[in-house]
Amino acid sequence: MMTRKVRIVDIGPRDMFCYGSLIGRTGAWRHETSDGEWNSGMMWFDENGEHLYFVQVKVAPLDTETDKLTKSTTDRGVSSLPKDFDNKSICYGHPDFYKILDELRDLHSRKNRDYSGDDPLSNLRMCERGGIPAWKGVIVRLTDKVSRLLSFMQKESYEVKDESVEDTLRDAAIYSILAIILYRESNRKVIVKPGGLWEKFMPKFKVGDIVCGGKQ
């Protein structure tokens, strides 16, 4: 496929979270598909091969007027891109990866509405009453999910009809993140400070309290 020099004039919702700051950038564009509104394809930004794949993007040839670009950036409140654009701010990988991260965030938030109280992870800390560190308890829950997935791989069907494979994978991903949070907690000493988040959002803790112990 041929490439042509273009400018990015708009980015769709599937790519906006990761690539939104690239509106206005120029590069060599290789078109792949189009759904009538958005284009998909690969764009190279420099001679060193810096490139990204876009799922939803609008581009314009460099020899056309920039009215659409000006309107797009104005609508989004973007005056211009930084003169020294840092390529490290680009999110590499598949755009759907970052979309799924958003889904996990929303799922975690919805599930936490069911657990009232000051500590959003209080349900995961229950095992500490039996002498089991919370992060180990979460890993036990994670292994349950993995066991269910292994069973599905063998039988290609779920006995629990109200949970899909994707549901199980999402739960496993969230448990993995929560295990990291709790493991890090167990290995550091956190003392409540005046005006800090612990004092503000978890009033049961007072200034000076040790929230979690471990290695300092």
Helix axes 165-186, 95-112, angle to 10 degrees: 80
Same domain for 72 and 126? Answer: no
Q: Residue 101 domain-assigned?
A: no
- Tell me which residue range forms the domain holding 69: 4-94
Last residue of a domain, one of 59, 94, 129: 94
> Do both 86 and 139 map to the same domain?
no
Are residues 38 and 86 both part of a single domain?
A: yes
- Cβ-count burial 63-75 (b if 16+ within 10 Å, e if not): eeeeeebeebbee
Q: Does the residue 165 lie in any domain?
A: yes
90 and 126 part of one domain: no
Q: How many domains does the chain have?
A: 2
For residues 89 and 121, state if they share a domain.
no
pLDDT for residue 90 is more than 90: no
Higher model confidence: residue 157 or residue 118? 157
Judgement on whether residues 14 and 86 belong to the same structural domain of the protein: yes
pLDDT range class, residue 112, cuts 50, 70, 90: confident
Q: Are 17 and 70 part of one and the same domain?
A: yes
Distances (CA, A) of 114 to 4, 41, 123, 128, 179: 52, 42, 10, 21, 19
Which one of 33, 60, 94 terminates a domain? Answer: 94
Q: Which pLDDT score is estimated for 167? A: 92
In a domain, 79, yes or no: yes
Residues 144 and 84 reside in one and the same domain:
no
Q: What is the pLDDT of residues 26-72, one digit of tens each?
A: 888 988 888 888 999 888 887 566 788 888 899 998 865 444 443 44
Is residue 27 included in any domain, yes or no?
yes
Q: What is the pLDDT of residues 134-165, one digit of tens each?
A: 999 999 999 999 998 998 888 888 776 778 88
Is 213 inside any structural domain? no
* Any domain includes 143: yes
In a domain, 36, yes or no: yes
